[in-house]
């Protein structure tokens, strides 16, 4: 797959020197998307259709809610709810028929499998129905583009390669994103060099944050109360980022709330 290359945001994120440059980019996109969906401008019809179909995940409902635009949030939720109610009724009606031992065309069409398994199939269908998010999808497609760009810069721009290899790198979640992209887009020596660099980068930086987190815990010992924090004051926040991708603490792109 080919992606549009967008080098400036990736270079800017690398220069931030945060624990994960891809988390910083993801958060920038997320903030922009939350504002865009609640923006005053009329939503494109195609986007509207997708909002109705997919809705938002829990995290993104929380972020939309925090924007304090209750009308905009309610309008999108209303049309999504109308569509979801109809789909849920199809699923649950098929479950009713399944529980009655029927094997109707509705069961086959809505659930794919009937008979004894109709209730589990209906549960799976409800899980899928409540597992979609247009914001997550949009973020994911942007992140694929940034991961692709990062690999492109790594293989074509010596200055970027040096900055990346000497930097704080990425979280484990984004290491997975980069590995998948490297499997897709890099071959031979380029792939080997990148994977080797990623391994060293993560080993070195995980060790650093682990040591900082240990010092953070030791600072709670009264005998260490007067000793300096060094870089450990926010070590817990940064350790969580390294392990699970950014979700708490200071904004990963340095933006002030």
Residues in contact with 78: Cβ distance below 8 Å, sequence separation at least 6, in sequence order: none
Residues in contact with 155: Cβ distance below 8 Å, sequence separation at least 6, in sequence order: 161, 186, 190, 194
Interaxial angle between packed helices 70-99 and 118-129, expressed in degrees from 0 to 180 and rounded to the nearest 10: 170
Q: Which of residues 55-74 bind Zn ion (CB under 5 A)?
A: 57, 60
Write the binding mask 146 to 175 for Zn ion: x where contact by CB under 5 A, - elsewhere.
-------------------------x--x-
Among 91, 125, 135, 181, binds Zn ion (CB under 5 A): 135
Please say which residue, 232 or 245, places its beta carbon nearer to Zn ion: 245
Q: Does 38 bind Zn ion (CB under 5 A)?
A: no
* Spatial contact of 19 and 238, defined as CB atoms under 8 Å apart: yes
* Phi and psi torsions of 169, nearest 5°: 75, -140
DSSP 113: -
Q: Does 133 bind Zn ion (CB under 5 A)?
A: yes
Q: Which of residues 18-37 bind Zn ion (CB under 5 A)?
A: 20, 22-23
Total binding residues toward Zn ion, as defined by CB under 5 A: 11
Nearest distance from C-beta of residue 214 to Zn ion, angstroms: 22
Please say which residue, 171 or 181, places its beta carbon nearer to Zn ion: 171
Which among 47, 41, 130 has a CA at the least distance from the CA of 85? 130
Nearest distance from C-beta of residue 252 to Zn ion, angstroms: 8
User: Which residues bind to Zn ion, rule: CB under 5 A?
Assistant: 20, 22-23, 57, 60, 133, 135-136, 171, 174, 245
């Amino acid at each position: 797959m080919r992606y549009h290359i967008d080098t400036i945001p990736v270079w800017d994120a690398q220069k931030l020197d945060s624990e994960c440059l891809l988390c910083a980019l993801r958060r920038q996109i997320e903030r922009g998307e939350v504002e865009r969906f609640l923006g005053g401008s009329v939503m494109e019809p195609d986007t509207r259709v997708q909002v109705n179909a997919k809705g938002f995940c829990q995290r993104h409902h929380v972020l939309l809610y925090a924007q304090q635009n209750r009308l905009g949030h309610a309008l999108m939720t209303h049309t999504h709810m109308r569509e979801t109610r109809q789909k849920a009724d199809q699923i649950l009606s098929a479950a009713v028929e399944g529980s009655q031992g029927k094997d109707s065309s509705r069961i086959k069409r809505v659930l794919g499998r009937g008979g004894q398994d109709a209730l589990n199939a209906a549960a799976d269908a409800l899980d899928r129905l409540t597992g979609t998010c247009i914001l997550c999808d949009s973020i994911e497609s942007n992140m694929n583009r940034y991961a692709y760009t990062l690999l492109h810069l790594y293989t074509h721009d010596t200055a970027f390669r040096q900055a990346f290899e000497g930097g704080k790198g990425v979280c484990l979640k984004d290491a997975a994103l980069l590995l998948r992209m490297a499997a897709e887009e890099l071959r031979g020596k380029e792939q080997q060099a990148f994977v080797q660099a990623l391994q060293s980068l993560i080993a070195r930086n995980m060790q650093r944050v682990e040591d900082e987190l240990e010092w953070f815990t030791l600072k709670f010992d009264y005998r260490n109360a007067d000793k300096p924090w060094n870089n450990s004051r926010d070590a817990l926040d940064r350790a969580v980022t390294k392990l699970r991708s950014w979700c708490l603490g200071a904004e990963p792109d340095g933006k002030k709330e």
